[in-house]
A and B are shown apart, each in its own frame.
Chain A
Amino acid sequence: AQSVTQPDIHITVSEGASLELRCNYSYGATPYLFWYVQSPGQGLQLLLKYFSGDTLVQGIKGFEAEFKRSQSSFNLRKPSVHWSDAAEYFCALLGDNAGNMLTFGGGTRLMVKP
Chain B
Amino acid sequence: NAGVTQTPKFQVLKTGQSMTLQCAQDMNHEYMSWYRQDPGMGLRLIHYSVGAGITDQGEVPNGYNVSRSTTEDFPLRLLSAAPSQTSVYFCASSRTAGNTIYFGEGSWLTVV
Binding site for B on A (CB under 8 A): 4, 6, 9, 32, 34, 36, 42-44, 46, 49, 51, 90, 92, 94, 98-102, 104-107
Which listed residue, A34, A94, A99, touches B48 by the CB 8 Å rule? A99
* A44 lies within 8 A of B90 (CB): yes
Judge whether B43 is part of the interface by a CB distance below 8 angstroms. yes
* B104 lies within 8 A of A43 (CB): yes
What are the interface flags for B15-50 relative to A under an 8 Å C-beta threshold, 1 for contact and 0 otherwise?
Answer: 000000000000000010101000011111100111
Distance of A99 Cα from B66 Cα, bound (Å): 15
Binding site for A on B (CB under 8 A): 31, 33, 35, 40-45, 48-50, 56, 58, 90, 92, 94, 96-101, 103-106
Distance of A104 Cα from B103 Cα, bound (Å): 14
CB distance from A35 to the nearest CB of B (A): 12
> With A32-B98, A43-B105, A100-B99 given, is the CB distance from A105 to B42 under 8 Å?
yes
Which listed residue, B58, B103, B106, touches A101 by the CB 8 Å rule? B58
Neighbouring A residues of B45 by C-beta, 8 Å: 101-102
Neighbouring B residues of A44 by C-beta, 8 Å: 43, 90, 103, 106
> With A9-B40, A43-B106 given, is the CB distance from A101 to B33 under 8 Å?
yes
* B97 lies within 8 A of A106 (CB): no
* B31 lies within 8 A of A100 (CB): yes
CB distance from A87 to the nearest CB of B (A): 14
The 3 nearest A-B residue pairs measured at CB: A104-B42, A43-B105, A99-B48
Neighbouring A residues of B104 by C-beta, 8 Å: 43
Distance of A98 Cα from B97 Cα, bound (Å): 8
Q: What 9 new A-B contacts, CB under 8 Å, besides A42-B105, A43-B103, A43-B106?
A: A44-B103, A51-B98, A98-B97, A100-B33, A100-B96, A100-B97, A101-B58, A102-B45, A104-B35
